[in-house]
Amino acid sequence: MVFIGLACITESNERPERITSPPPDSVGLWRQLRNGVSAQVRESCHRATSVLTASGLPLRITIHMGRSVVNNPTLRCTRCQQIPRWCVCEGLRTVDCPVAVDVMMHSREFFRPSSTGHLIQRVVAGARTHVYRHDVVPTRESVVRPGKDVWVLHPLGEPMPAGPVPENVQVLLLDGSWGEAADMKKAVEGWGRRVSLPMTGKSRYWLRTQQGEGQFSTVEALLFLLDALGLKKEHDALRVQFELHVYAGLRTRGHSALAADFLATSPLREAMPEVIARMHPQSPEEKAAFSALLRERTENARVHTGG
Ligand SMILES: [Zn+2]
């Protein structure tokens, strides 16, 4: 199935909330896309198709229609949200997590395929997403899970309580820009304990310009929490999924040098060497050039870290 319009479907096993009709002046284009592109996409997304089918999930390709709706429609795999060439469904793994995870996602974030809130929804078992709009705020009853100690992660919170039992904790992550998160923080005031974690180091979320030192993506905040709770297995598994998400995003954008830099210091090559090898360029010349670049960047990283 091909959906076109403003609907951005993040969960391939759920019905989209909204499928809008194409604008009148793009009906012809829409028919063209529907008839011509879907076959082409099925072909190029063959690997994703079989993965989705094996999981019992239907193949659905989203065509994101932004401001450049007619000139530059982007086809994306509905599950991993990457364009078909860089579909990484093959590497997606479910992460079982004893902490209950809920993401309150700003409606603007909802339409950004690179959102790590979407990534959490895709890979963390039992994670739930609640879309926040300034005029439609999720209710406390729909978000807070009975019997759980609710932690809203926020830099202005209190330190993490001592000796928590992960199974008793529900973490609520606010997913949006700094200003959007501030609005959501007001909306969830009093829903639970506001908790601040020591988050140090540099963000690995290379798909967006960070707003400042010490600011991290939503999934990185969750990684800090898992680490603080001593959930190493879950932390490492989620870290790999996050790295795959970023790496595929860099490749999608054609940032070869950045992708090589990223891969040089990523656990990805060890965690899923075959998936990564298949993401190398296909032409012999480009493949050789990328391999040389990767060797150089790996050596630079080794020297830099004293490894
Ligand atoms: Zn995919």
Residue 45 CB-density burial (10 A; 0-12 exposed, 13-18 middle, 19+ buried): buried
> What's the DSSP call for residue 139?
P
Which H or E run includes 74?
strand 74-77
**Would you report the helix, strand and coil content of the chain in percent, each value rounded to 5?**
45, 15, 40
Give distance in angstroms: CA of 78 to centre of ligand 1.
7
Give me the residues near ligand 1 (ion), CB cutoff below 5 Å. 48, 77, 79-80, 87, 89
CA distance 286 to 274: 18
* Per-residue pLDDT tens over the stretch 156-206: 899 999 999 999 999 999 999 888 999 999 999 999 999 999 898 999 999
Would you mind telling me the total number of residues written for the chain in this entry? Answer: 307
* Per-residue pLDDT tens over the stretch 16-65: 333 333 333 333 333 333 333 333 333 333 322 222 222 333 334 444 43
Task: Return mean pLDDT, the chain.
Answer: 78
Q: Higher model confidence: residue 50 or residue 103? A: 103
Please list, in sequence order, all residues whose beta carbon lies within 8 angstroms of the beta carbon of residue 56, skipping any fewer than 6 positions away: 13
Give distance in angstroms: CA of 94 to centre of ligand 1.
14
117 close to 175: Cβ distance less than 8 angstroms: yes
Q: How many CB atoms lie within 10 A of CB 302?
A: 12
2 close to 63: Cβ distance less than 8 angstroms: yes
Give distance in angstroms: CA of 303 to centre of ligand 1.
35
Residue 241 CB-density burial (10 A; 0-12 exposed, 13-18 middle, 19+ buried): buried
Q: Mean pLDDT across the stretch 83-106?
A: 95
Give distance in angstroms: CA of 193 to centre of ligand 1.
36
Give the pLDDT band (50/70/90) at residue 282.
confident
* Per-residue pLDDT tens over the stretch 7-18: 222 233 333 333
Give distance in angstroms: CA of 171 to centre of ligand 1.
27
pTM over 0.85: no
* Per-residue pLDDT tens over the stretch 224-280: 999 999 999 999 999 999 999 999 999 999 999 999 999 999 999 999 999 999 998
Give distance in angstroms: CA of 119 to centre of ligand 1.
12
Give distance in angstroms: CA of 84 to centre of ligand 1.
7
Q: Mean pLDDT across the stretch 92-105?
A: 97
